[in-house]
Structure 1
Amino acid sequence: MNVFVKTSLAMIGATALLSLAPLAASAQEMTYPEKCKTAGMDMSKMGMSSGGDMKMGDMPMGDYQKATMEGMKSMHDDVVQGMMQKDPDVAFVCGMIAHHMGAITMSEAELKYGDDKAAKDMAKKVIAAQKKEIAYMTKWVEKEAK
């Protein structure tokens, strides 16, 4: 059986499982761990406030682009906060938690605005996988971060 067929069968199985389970909390309802936040860090003084260099200006955007960009801007500060942790292991895990939350936001926008069944199925798969990884990483941070 070739790789394409195996991958297709795996995606069909995952899609069937995902369609049976309701999607839990959205990215906006998830909480970035307090231990990942750098106390007293003022993002605006770093020139990295809410979205860093992402200036959209007069660029025309549809509802999908707006939803995705707003979600990504809201996660940007958390990524930077996490990466500023002194412990490299904690910095990595905190940065990845925020990064995964951004992936969920993008996937939710696909589910809301997308039309392609395969793309929507991928978005559902991303959401399920990222939520599981976020839960695991959050538990690790709560245990390991000082």
Structure 2
Amino acid sequence: MNICVKSAVAAISMSSMMVVPFGSAIAQSTFPEKCKSDTSMAEMPMMGGNMPMEGKGAHPTGDLNDHQKASMEGMMSMHQNMMQGMMKQDADTAFACGMIAHHMGAISMAEVELQYGDNDEMKATAQQIIDAQTKEIEELTSWIEKEVK
């Protein structure tokens, strides 16, 4: 198994161990079933730029603070869903599914800001992101439900 696949498997395994309570839009949004790939994560082609999960440069979860752990959870979930969505054979479907995952990632990041941030301007921006991205997820999901067989 190559190092990229090992890193992805480790990231996904680690993300399932981190439980972060989210009470707003991301908890209510789920990645559409029609966006999920039949290809297993181990079979998906991997791109460069993986974050090291062990060894020099790695950040074991014990060394991360709460907002970093929450951010990592959201990032890993987004990447897994984005990779699945982009594996769809139809370009329009792949785009819509990839964008849903991307927007879910943005919402997750914004929720971390609302939970841990102190700056009122950044918290207002985070709420604006949640509102806008939630609407776009609903629109994209509606298109998928209507158009994707």
TM-score range, shorter chain: 0.7 to 0.9
- Distance apart, 1:27 and its partner CA: 1.2
Residue 114 of structure 1 is matched in structure 2 by 117
- 5+ residue gaps, structure 1: 1-23
TM-score by length of 1: 0.74
Which of the numbers 53, 67, 78 marks the counterpart of 1:75? 78
Query: For residues 142 and 25 of structure 1, what CA distance do their matches in structure 2 show?
Result: 23
Match of 1:53 in 2: 50
CA drift of 1:63 comes to: 1.2
C-alpha distance in 1 between matches for 2:43 and 2:86: 16
Matches within 5 A, 1:17-36: 25-36=24-35
Instruction: Give the % identical residues.
Output: 53
- Per-residue CA deviation, residues 77-122 of structure 1 (Å, 9 max, x unaligned), is 1101111111101100100000000000000000000000000000
Shift of 1:29: 3.2
Q: TM-score, normalised by structure 2?
A: 0.73
- 1:47 positional shift: 6.3
When residues 112 and 132 of structure 1 are mapped into structure 2, their CA distance, relative to the original with a 3 A threshold, is same
Aligned CA-pair RMSD:
1.8
8 Å CA contact 2:107, 2:129 repeated in 1: yes
Structure 2 contact 24–111 (Cα < 8 Å) conserved: no
**How many positions carry a matched residue from both structures?**
119
Offset at 1:45?
A: 3.2
